[in-house]
Structure 1
């Protein structure tokens, strides 16, 4: 799936901010209970944003293995978080990790060979996932040369 040429990214930003506001309001109503944005919602946002930024062709939703394919044919796993870590289920060919803390812009935390992140991730959890911190991913990303990265085509304006 290719991204449409015209996307109202300001509207996307407003909708995401409304989701963040809704979770904060729910947490105010129910102290001690967390209402985090995760799962398919955040995953899908990350996929469409990464597709726009890097010119990726998205695989059908819920495709096992990788979320997209680069213009050079490289399979790409995409993660978006508002937290301090991401979880990976397999060793991806290429890994893109984006982060958008509440009230901040989306940034690229890691853009490189998935094997590097896989080897640095924690041990396998009972749910079949391995967790790796955003800080660790940023450190690994800083060691990569440009040839290991997907070329950034466009910034997201939020």
Structure 2
């Protein structure tokens, strides 16, 4: 357990400027996914727990968020089942952490996924499986995708 707390402390120090809080719960996987996607797609992270979106793709490198910034929702899972959404994001990135490797599952319009999600659960979320997301990612090949500018970090040596 001490090792886990040490890792969490290191993550909190390393990403303090990214306004992400790494805690030993489901937020840990989500926060890791957000900083990994931000790095891979050159996104600017919004304040933690911003409604509906986690980051923006900046139209130009002036650093100012504007009406032309593309809002992005980022989801990551360490499992094999799927992810849940509360609303239809403008753009959606879904990552999976499997076999100590980050994998891109979906990169495309959020509405494309939202329209295929299961019905709303009691907690307000709508779930979708990873297999359905992969299929939608292929089906959405002609839709706008964010350009991946950096490789995903390697977790093995």
Aligned to 1:56: 43
Give unmatched runs, 5+ long, in structure 1. Answer: 1-14, 17-36
1:95-145 CA distance string (max 9 Å, x none): 0000012x3310110000000100010000000000000000000001223
SS of the residue corresponding to residue 101 of structure 2 reads coil
How far did 1:38 drift?
Answer: 5.3
Matches for 1:83-94 after TM superposition, within 5 Å: 83=79, 84-94=81-91
SS of the residue corresponding to residue 148 of structure 1 reads coil
How far did 1:156 drift?
Answer: 1.4
For the pair 1:116 / 2:112, whether they are aligned, the reply is yes
For the pair 1:107 / 2:94, whether they are aligned, the reply is no
Give unmatched runs, 5+ long, in structure 2. Answer: 1-6, 9-23, 60-68
1:5-57 CA distance string (max 9 Å, x none): xxxxxxxxxx59xxxxxxxxxxxxxxxxxxxx752111110100000000000
Query: In structure 1, how many angstroms separate the alpha carbons of the residues matched to 2:52 and 2:113?
Result: 15
Query: In structure 2, how many angstroms separate the alpha carbons of the residues matched to 1:119 and 1:38?
Result: 29
Q: Note the aligned Cα RMSD (angstroms).
A: 1.6
Aligned to 2:139: 143
Q: After TM superposition, which residue ranges in structure 1, 4 or more long, deviate above 3 angstroms?
A: none
TM-score, structure 2 length as denominator? Answer: 0.74
Gap change, CA 1:154 and 1:146, over 3 Å in 2:
farther
Q: Between Structure 1 and Structure 2, which shows a larger proportion of helix residues?
A: 1
**Residue correspondences, number:** 123
Aligned to 2:19: none
TM-score, structure 1 length as denominator? Answer: 0.73
Query: In structure 2, how many angstroms separate the alpha carbons of the residues matched to 1:146 and 1:152?
Result: 16
